[in-house]
Amino acid sequence: MIAKNSLNNQLPNEIKSTFKELNVLKHLRIAGITKSFGFSCAYIFQLIFCMIFENKNWFRMLESKKATDIPAK
Protein backbone atom coordinates (compact mmCIF):
# COMPACT_ATOMS: atom_id res chain seq x y z
CA MET A 1 0.00 0.00 0.00
CA ILE A 2 1.31 3.42 -0.91
CA ALA A 3 0.42 5.11 2.38
CA LYS A 4 2.78 2.85 4.34
CA ASN A 5 5.80 3.77 2.16
CA SER A 6 7.94 6.82 2.57
CA LEU A 7 6.74 9.71 0.44
CA ASN A 8 10.01 9.68 -1.52
CA ASN A 9 9.83 5.94 -2.26
CA GLN A 10 6.66 6.11 -4.33
CA LEU A 11 8.22 6.82 -7.71
CA PRO A 12 8.53 4.03 -10.27
CA ASN A 13 12.11 2.76 -10.49
CA GLU A 14 12.65 4.16 -13.99
CA ILE A 15 11.65 7.67 -12.96
CA LYS A 16 13.49 7.44 -9.64
CA SER A 17 16.78 6.64 -11.37
CA THR A 18 16.25 9.49 -13.84
CA PHE A 19 15.51 11.95 -11.02
CA LYS A 20 18.67 10.81 -9.24
CA GLU A 21 20.87 11.00 -12.35
CA LEU A 22 19.64 14.48 -13.33
CA ASN A 23 19.63 15.79 -9.73
CA VAL A 24 16.13 17.16 -10.21
CA LEU A 25 15.41 17.63 -6.50
CA LYS A 26 18.75 19.37 -6.00
CA HIS A 27 17.84 21.82 -8.76
CA LEU A 28 14.51 22.51 -7.05
CA ARG A 29 16.40 23.49 -3.89
CA ILE A 30 18.86 25.63 -5.85
CA ALA A 31 15.94 27.40 -7.56
CA GLY A 32 14.71 28.40 -4.12
CA ILE A 33 11.52 26.38 -4.18
CA THR A 34 10.65 25.83 -0.53
CA LYS A 35 7.61 25.01 1.54
CA SER A 36 6.02 26.81 4.43
CA PHE A 37 4.09 23.80 5.81
CA GLY A 38 2.60 20.48 4.76
CA PHE A 39 3.97 18.20 2.06
CA SER A 40 7.52 18.71 0.82
CA CYS A 41 8.17 20.44 -2.50
CA ALA A 42 9.94 17.33 -3.76
CA TYR A 43 6.86 15.19 -3.08
CA ILE A 44 4.52 17.65 -4.84
CA PHE A 45 6.84 17.85 -7.86
CA GLN A 46 7.13 14.05 -8.08
CA LEU A 47 3.36 13.67 -7.77
CA ILE A 48 2.66 16.13 -10.58
CA PHE A 49 5.41 14.60 -12.74
CA CYS A 50 3.94 11.10 -12.37
CA MET A 51 0.40 12.33 -13.04
CA ILE A 52 1.53 13.43 -16.51
CA PHE A 53 2.56 9.89 -17.45
CA GLU A 54 -0.49 8.30 -15.84
CA ASN A 55 -2.71 10.60 -17.91
CA LYS A 56 -4.55 11.87 -14.84
CA ASN A 57 -5.41 15.29 -13.55
CA TRP A 58 -5.60 16.66 -10.01
CA PHE A 59 -9.41 16.57 -9.89
CA ARG A 60 -9.52 12.86 -10.78
CA MET A 61 -6.81 12.07 -8.24
CA LEU A 62 -8.87 13.75 -5.51
CA GLU A 63 -11.87 11.58 -6.42
CA SER A 64 -9.82 8.37 -6.38
CA LYS A 65 -9.04 6.06 -3.46
CA LYS A 66 -5.65 7.79 -3.02
CA ALA A 67 -7.34 11.08 -2.13
CA THR A 68 -6.34 10.82 1.54
CA ASP A 69 -2.65 10.49 0.58
CA ILE A 70 -2.38 13.59 -1.62
CA PRO A 71 -2.70 17.28 -0.81
CA ALA A 72 -6.10 18.79 -1.57
CA LYS A 73 -5.15 22.45 -1.91
Helices and strands: H and E segment counts in the chain:
4, 0
> What pLDDT is stored for residue 42 in this prediction?
83
Note the pLDDT tens digit of each residue in 11-50: 677 778 888 899 988 998 899 888 788 788 888 888 888 8
> What pLDDT is stored for residue 69 in this prediction?
66
Instruction: Residue 47: count other Cβ atoms within 10 Å of its Cβ.
Output: 19
**Considering only CA atoms, which of 15, 7, 48, 45 is closest in space to residue 28?**
45
> What pLDDT is stored for residue 31 in this prediction?
92
Q: Is 57 exposed, middle or buried (0-12, 13-18, 19+ CB in 10 A)?
A: exposed
- Side chain identity at residue 48, one-letter code: I
Residue ranges in 1-73 assigned as alpha helix (H): 13-22, 24-30, 41-53, 58-63
